Amino acid sequence: MRRIIAAIVVASCALALVGCGGGGGGGTEQAQSQTPPPPASSGQQQPQVVDRSPVETPTAVPFPSQISTAMPESVKSKLDAGRPMILFFYDTTESETKQQRAEIDAVLKEYRGLIDLVTFDVTLPKSGSPSDAVKRAASFATDLGVKSTPYIIVVDSGGFITWRWLGFVDRDVIEREVLRATQ
């Protein structure tokens, strides 16, 4: 009985291996025939391939100088002075807000004086109309591409956005980005 079970297990493993292309060398010929032909050099620019891998690839982009709303004075003065900063957009009704703020504060305590924190409360009231400050903060957030909170944007001393993050992130990652923005 054991021999029969062992034979069945070995046979099923062999069939699974062949079915997945792990046997013989037939799989390589098929893969080579499915590769796309090289792009034609017709002078037209080929579309760029977008890397959608989960690997974090930070790129620095200039902080937008032309936005549809007036830039908050706290941000403008830091950009003019060449001060690196963390922009933190939050909603007080979200549970992640307090946790995220604690992580940011821990990093700021460690790197006091190297980077400034500018916060924007975009909490909409449950009834009635939002205050002018909330309206301005929400418009500024929209101009920067913030669609949800908590949202962190790190700006370096050259006025470049070096990192963006939506949702909760721990202090080790924030610390890494603060160091990158301040060096």
In a domain, 118, yes or no: yes
Within a domain: 166: yes
Per the structure, how many domains does the chain have? 1
What the block records as the tokens of 160 is 């470049």
Is the model more confident about 4 or about 73?
Answer: 73
What's the pLDDT score for residue 126? 85
**Paired tokens of 29:** 């010929």
Q: Is residue 156 part of a domain?
A: yes
What lies within 8 Å, CB to CB, of 133 at 6+ separation is 121
Q: What is the reported pLDDT for 91?
A: 93
| Domain interval for residue 104 | 61-182
Give the per-residue pLDDT at 180.
Answer: 92
For residue 27, the model assigns a pLDDT of 46
| pLDDT given for residue 106 in this prediction | 95
Q: 163 in a domain, yes or no?
A: yes
pLDDT over threshold 90, residue 114: yes
Segment (H or E) for 90:
strand 85-90
Q: Is residue 86 part of a domain?
A: yes
Q: Please, which contacts does 59-62 make with residues 24 or more away whose CB atoms are closer than 8 Å?
A: 60/156, 60/160, 60/161, 60/162, 61/160, 61/161, 62/159, 62/160, 62/161
pLDDT digits (tens, 9 = 90+) for 51-86: 444 455 556 888 887 788 888 999 999 999 999 999
Q: Is residue 26 part of a domain?
A: no
Q: Does the pLDDT value for residue 94 go beyond 50? A: yes
Q: Is residue 54 part of a domain?
A: no
For residue range 36-56, what is the model confidence (pLDDT) as tens digits? Answer: 555 555 555 555 655 444 455
The answer to whether residue 15 is domain-embedded is no
